[in-house]
């Protein structure tokens, strides 16, 4: 079932920016990405697919000590990597 126009790489990057800035919750980012990752009607370029899959599950809890499986530093690193790969 098609859920609308697939997001552009700019829109995917914007989710990372909003998440890092604290204007988007991890739950909201995960739910947004899940909409696209679980939809099989779209064809994705490698970078968009990589970025979406990093957002999907961004709210998974760590197995020990509370917090998240991927901490804020990791999320920032993914944003840096996304921008580096876009510029290449």
d(CA 85, CA 83): 5
Residue 21 has pLDDT above 80, yes or no: yes
Residues 6 or more apart whose CB falls under 8 angstroms from that of 45 comprise: 9
pLDDT at 66: 83
> Binning pLDDT at 50, 70 and 90, where does residue 27 land?
very high
Domain residue limits, the chain: 9-87
What pLDDT, in 10s, does the model give residues 43-75? 999 999 999 999 999 999 998 878 999 999 999
Q: Closest Cα to residue 19, out of 86, 78, 87, 81?
A: 78
**Whole-model pTM over 0.85:** yes
pLDDT band at 1 (very low <50, low <70, confident <90, very high): very low
- pLDDT score at 41: 86
């Amino acid at each position: 079932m098609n859920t609308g126009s697939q997001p552009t790489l700019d829109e995917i990057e914007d989710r990372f920016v909003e998440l890092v800035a604290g204007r988007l919750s991890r739950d909201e980012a995960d739910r947004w990405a899940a909409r696209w990752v679980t939809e099989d009607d779209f064809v994705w370029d490698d970078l968009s697919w990589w970025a979406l899959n990093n957002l999907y599950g961004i709210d998974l809890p760590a197995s020990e000590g509370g917090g998240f499986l991927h901490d804020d530093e990791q999320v920032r690193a993914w944003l840096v990597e996304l921008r580096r790969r876009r510029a290449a």
